[in-house]
Structure 1
C-alpha cells in the first residue's frame, strides 16, 4: 500500500492486491470539522452506484477508513471544462437528486465563527507568512461570515454529493467520474448547483469564468428532468461558506505549528490558507458579477 499525496482533508493510499486495486482513505481523526456518518454515506453511495452514477465502486466504510475500487482516469484541472463534460455533470446531479434514499439526519448549520480578529493577532504573533494579508482582510471576513449566516436559501433541500469540484473528479475517456463522497448530505439545491457550475466554469481565480460552461451544467440538469431554483445570492453562499470554513480550519492547523498525524500535510495547509485569504475577498466582491451568470 502506498500513499497518494495531495488530499485537502484526509490521506489517501493505493492498495494493489490479487483481487484488484483499491483506494483506501484514512479519514482525519484529529480535528474533523463535522461528524462523518459512515453507514449513511455508504448507503447513499451504493444507491448511486447501482443507479449507474459514474463513480468508484464503494466497498466498505467505517469511522476512520473508506475503501473503494481504484478507478483510472485523468485529473480534472482547475480550468473551464469542455462543454459536453459540464452538460454531463448537470445530468449526473439531476439523477442523483432523484434517487429515493432515506437520510435520517436534519441539516443543521452552526453559526459561522467570527474570531477573525483573534486569528489575525495569533498569525502575527507566530510569524505566519500570510499574517499581514489576513490582518488586512479581517473586516471583509467578518462581512462574509454575516452574509453566510443571513443569506436566505429558497430550497428545495436535496440529498446530494455536496462537493462536486475539479479535485473530486476524474476524466475517463473524456467523461466525468465523481469521487470523494464523504461530505454527502442534505443541501439547498441552489447552493449545490451554483458551487458546481462555478467551479467547472473557471480557472484558479475569478478572472477566467466561462458563462457558457456555467450554463451547460444547468442545461444538463434541466435536460435530465431537474428544475432550477430561483436566481439569487443563495447560489453562491454554500461555496463561500464552505471555503470560509476550510480556510479557517487550515489557519488553525498552521497556528498549531506542527503537522498533525492525519489530514493534509502542513505545507498544503499553508497553501490552502493563503489561497483562501486571497481568494475569498475577491469572490465576495464579485457577487453581483456571479449572480449575472444566472440571468
Structure 2
C-alpha cells in the first residue's frame, strides 16, 4: 500500500487485511503491537472533484475533538488516510430505529455548529449531458446494462436539467455530506460516523434531505418510514439546528450525487480495464446498473417525498 509511513503505527502482527465492499476507495485493516487501524487507499484516478485531503483531515480532527462519534483520525497524505479501527455493527440498508435517526440528527447539528474555516470550491460546472453517447458506447461494448441505459437516456437528460435548475435556499454548512447506512456503524446501538472523504460545503436542505431519506428507507422506495425521516429532523432541532425552507432542494443533492456516481461507474466500466484503485470492475457494473434503474424511480417520486417535509 502506498502513502503514509505505516511503520510509525507499530510492528505489524500480520499482513494488512483487505476489507471488501467499498464503493469508491480500498480499505485495509492493519493490526500492530500498538493497536488496530483502518488504512484507506484513496481512488484519485477518476474522482468527480478534487480531493482536499489535508482540509478534510483537519475537519475530522476538529470533529473528533468536539466529541463527534467517529474513528480517531491518525495520519494523512495525498493518497492515504489512516484512522484508528472501530468495532461496531454495520447498519443495513433498511429503515433504522427512530431513536438512532434522532441521534444522527443531533450529531449533524453539532457538526454544523463547529467554527471551522473552509475555502469555498470554484463554481460547479454544468451537469454532464453525454448520456446518449454513453449509451451508444455501452451498447457497442456489450455492457450488461446497455439496454436499460439506452431506454432511459431522455430521463437522465431531464434529471440533469433538474439538478442544474433547482434553487438551493441555503444556508451552506461545512459537513460530512454522505451520512448514509454504508457510512455508519452501530456501537451499543448508537451511531458512529465513518468515511469523511466527501466533506465540504453543502446546502443544508440537501444534507438533511439526503440523510433523512437514506435512514428512512430500504434498498428501494416502497418502504419509506415517515417516523424515521422526521426523527432525523427532530434530532437536528433538538441539537440546536434550524430547519431550512421546505422544497425540492431537499432532494436535489441526493439526486445529483447518485447521478454523478452512476456516471463515474459507467465510465469505469466502458474502459473494460480493471483499475488499480477504487471498486473492482464487477462492482462498478453493479453500481452502474443500480443507478440506471434506481435513479429514475427516485426522480419520479420526488413530489411524494416532499410530503415528508415539515
TM range (shorter): over 0.9
Question: 2-side partners of 1:105 and 1:19: how far apart?
Answer: 38
Which residue of 87, 108, 111 maps to 2:102? 87
> In structure 1, the residue corresponding to 2:148 is in which secondary structure?
helix
Indicate yes or no: 2:308 matched with 1:293. Answer: yes
Contact 1:30 1:261 in 2 (8 A): no
Q: Confirm whether residue 132 of structure 1 aligns to residue 155 of structure 2.
A: no
Match of 2:93 in 1: 78
Contact between 1:123 and 1:131, CA under 8 Å: does it hold in 2? yes
In the TM superposition, residue 29 of structure 1 has moved relative to its aligned partner by 2.5
Name the structure 2 match of 1:64. Answer: 79
Indicate yes or no: 2:298 matched with 1:283.
yes
Q: Which runs of 4+ in 1 moved over 6 A?
A: none
Return the offset for 1:293. Answer: 0.6
The residue that corresponds to 1:270 in the other structure is 285
Taking the TM superposition and a 5 Å limit, the aligned residue runs for 1:26-175 are 26-106=41-121, 108-175=123-190
CA distance in 1, matches of 2:125, 2:18: 34
The CA deviation at 1:106 is 3.4
State the secondary structure of the residue aligned to 1:293: coil
Alignment partner, residue 259 of structure 1 = 274
Aligned to 2:249: 234
Counterparts of 1:19 and 1:138 in 2: how far apart (Å)?
Answer: 53
Q: 1:198, 1:214 within 8 Å by CA — same for their partners in 2?
A: yes
TM superposition score normalised by structure 2: 0.94
What do you get for the CA RMSD once the two structures are aligned? 0.7
**Tell me, which stretches of 5 or more residues in structure 1 are unaligned?**
none
Would the aligned equivalents of 1:151 and 1:234 in 2 still touch at CA under 8 Å? yes
Give 1:152 shift: 0.2
The answer for the alignment partner of 1:212 in structure 2 is: 227
Per the TM alignment, residue 87 of structure 1 is displaced from its structure 2 partner at its CA by 0.1
CA contact (8 A) 1:27 1:65 kept: yes
Quote the Cα distance in structure 2 between the aligned partners of 1:52 and 1:58: 13
Q: Which residue in the other structure is 2:213 paired with?
A: 198
* Aligned residues of 1:107 and 1:187 also touching (Cα < 8 A): no
Aligned residue number for residue 26 of structure 2: 11
1:256 Cα offset (Å): 0.5
Higher mean C-alpha displacement, 83-92 vs 97-106: 97-106
Q: CA deviation at 1:33?
A: 1.8
Between the aligned partners of 1:38 and 1:105, the Cα distance in structure 2 is 15
Q: CA offset at residue 105 of structure 1?
A: 2.7
Conserved 8 A contact 1:97-1:159: yes
Counterpart secondary structure, 2:192: strand
